[in-house]
Amino acid sequence: AQTVTQSQPEMSVQEAETVTLSCTYDTSESDYYLFWYKQPPSRQMILVIRQEAYKQQNATENRFSVNFQKAAKSFSLKISDSQLGDAAMYFCAYRSAEGNEKLTFGTGTRLTIIP
Amino acid sequence: GAGVSQSPSNKVTEKGKDVELRCDPISGHTALYWYRQSLGQGLEFLIYFQGNSAPDKSGLPSDRFSAERTGGSVSTLTIQRTQQEDSAVYLCASSLIGGTSGSHEQFFGPGTRLTVL
């Protein structure tokens, strides 16, 4: 079974600064997808960024980028120019490329933005 | 278009009562998922529907939990004889399987917060 680990329960960053959230995972599969989801107090899970394991290039979405290290099974999220609206719980998630479509989530990192 | 909707938003019930939670997926989405989020925890997979069939119900924690989906659309998660440990946020998600994107992005609803007294 796959597992996802987020070792930072809480993180804080000054507004406009850069912060990196860590995620590691364990799998025996070679093809899969990785995701970062944001969950604000409204509870709505919002997809921030996705990475296909077969792609070596790190995904980027505006101020959000990932550092995907397949051999190390590491998938960190970097948020640049942090904004107050970035405050939320961030979840790392794994999905196999075959068979079961379910997402396996980490336990989350609560990000606080300091004005 | 409309996103995934869930009802009720909040539900308070007494231990031993049955509850039904509803999910309306995005129109045209063939896949539907239920997850449970306990306080301070990540999301735990419960069940996955492809159309009206549930090829994976391995995450249902006990036989008190059941789910169905009708018409390839609305799904209902039923919890019988609720227990205090069932208190959690129940999230529903839907995705379009077979689209051009292999990642099959899951779109989540706002969840139902269930409190069992």
Residue B86 phi/psi, 5-degree rounding, is -80, -10
Tell me which residue has tokens 């990540």: B42
Banded model confidence at residue A106, pLDDT cuts 50, 70, 90: very high
User: Among all residues of chain A, which has the CA nearest to that of B30?
Assistant: A101
- Residue-level pLDDT at B109: 95
Is the peptide bond between B8 and the residue preceding it cis, with omega within 30 degrees of 0? Answer: yes
Contact B115, B13 (CB under 8 A): yes
Condensed to tens digits (0 to 9), the pLDDT of residues A3-39 reads 999 999 999 999 999 999 999 999 999 889 999 999 9
In this predicted model, which residue has the larger pLDDT, B2 or A74?
Answer: A74
Both structure tokens of B47: 């069940």
Q: Is A33 on the interface with B (CB under 8 A)?
A: yes
Closest CA–CA distance from residue B11 to any residue of chain A (Å): 15
Decide if B114 contacts B17 (C-beta within 8 A): no
Place of tokens 């992005």: B105
Average pLDDT over residues A81-104: 91
Q: Answer whether B42 touches A (CB < 8 Å).
A: yes
CB contact under 8 A, B48 and A44: no
Between CA A53 and CA B55 the distance in angstroms is: 25
Q: How far is B95 from chain A (nearest CA, A)?
A: 10
The whole-number pLDDT of residue B1 equals 57
Q: Give percent helix, percent strand, percent coil of chain A, each to the nearest 5.
A: 5, 50, 45
Among the listed ranges A36-50, A65-79, B57-71, B87-101, which one has the minimum average pLDDT value?
Answer: B87-101
Q: Residue B100: pLDDT band by 50, 70, 90 thresholds?
A: very low
State the Rg of chain B over Cα.
Answer: 14
- Interior angle at CA B33, CA B29 and CA B38, nearest 5: 145
User: Looking at residue B99, what is its pLDDT?
Assistant: 47
pLDDT of residue B103: 60
pLDDT at B98: 54
Q: How many residues does chain B have?
A: 117
**B33, B42, B95: residue with CB nearest A107:** B42
Quick one: chain B helix, strand, coil %, rounded to 5? 5, 50, 50
List all residues 6 or more positions away from A72 whose beta carbon is below 8 Å from its beta carbon: A24
One-letter identity of residue B46: L
Beta-bridge partner residues of A105: A93
Is B96 at the interface with chain A, CB within 8 A? no
Contact list in B for residue A91 (CB cut-off 8 A) is: 42-43
CA distance A102 to chain B (A): 7
The rounded percent of chain A whose pLDDT value lies above 70 is: 98
| Chain A residues closer than 8 Å to B99 by CB | none
Using CA atoms, how far residue B81 sits from B45, B58, B116, in Å, is: 21, 20, 10
pLDDT at A86 over 90: yes
Q: What is the pLDDT of residues B39-64, one digit of tens each?
A: 877 899 999 999 999 988 999 999 99
